[in-house]
Amino acid sequence: MGEEAGQQEEGRFTFELEQTEGYEFKVDFDRRKLPGLLMDEPPPLGEGNGPNASRLLAAAVANCLSASLIHCIYKGDVPAAAVRTRVTCRLVRNARKRLRIGGLDVRLKLSEDAAGANRLTRCLDLFEDFCVVTASIRQGIPVTVEVVDHEDNVLKVSAE
């Protein structure tokens, strides 16, 4: 059975990108529910009117890790501002001088309430494995993760 753009079935989703001009593309995730996203390459190729693919990949990893940790800690009853995440994407040149993502460094800073949650210790051992995006891209791109409390005390560091 064919799938319309934006429809989702178990284990699969489809959406469309449409070039608007130059290197600028509008991403239409789901015409009924989600607003479009404008992507663009930074100068000198594009105008930088939106994030490029590398920035979206880094954002996807950071978002997935953040959501996974918060879900584990609070199991659905999520407070308004429990985590602030910073992601650094390291761009490198390969042997053929092509730009590649050399790694991602993600730092999740927990609020005082989140850092004191009863389930935190157990969640620190589990949350990365439940992050679909990070677990998937780690097969080709190194990702380091650091979780700190509201006073910047390191609670966990991992790299795979």
Task: Judge contact between 89 and 55, C-beta under 8 A.
Answer: yes
Structure-token match 């210790």, residue found: 121
Q: How many structural domains does the chain have? A: 2
Q: What is the pLDDT of residue 5?
A: 45
Q: What is the pLDDT of residue 142?
A: 85
Measured at the CA of 74, the angle between CA 157 and CA 136, to 5 degrees, comes to 50
Residues 25 and 76 in one domain: no
Residues 123 and 141 in one domain: yes
Q: What is the pLDDT of residue 78?
A: 67
- From residue 75, give the alpha-carbon distance in Å to each of 2, 42, 103, 123: 35, 39, 30, 11
Residues 100 and 29 in one domain: no
**Residue ranges of the chain with per-residue pLDDT less than 70:** 1-10, 31-32, 76, 78, 160
Domain interval for residue 89: 53-159
Output the domain CATH number for residue 80: 3.30.300.20
Q: DSSP per residue over 49-67, as a string?
A: SS--HHHHHHHHHHHHHHH
The pTM of this model reads 0.85
Q: What is the pLDDT of residue 76?
A: 65
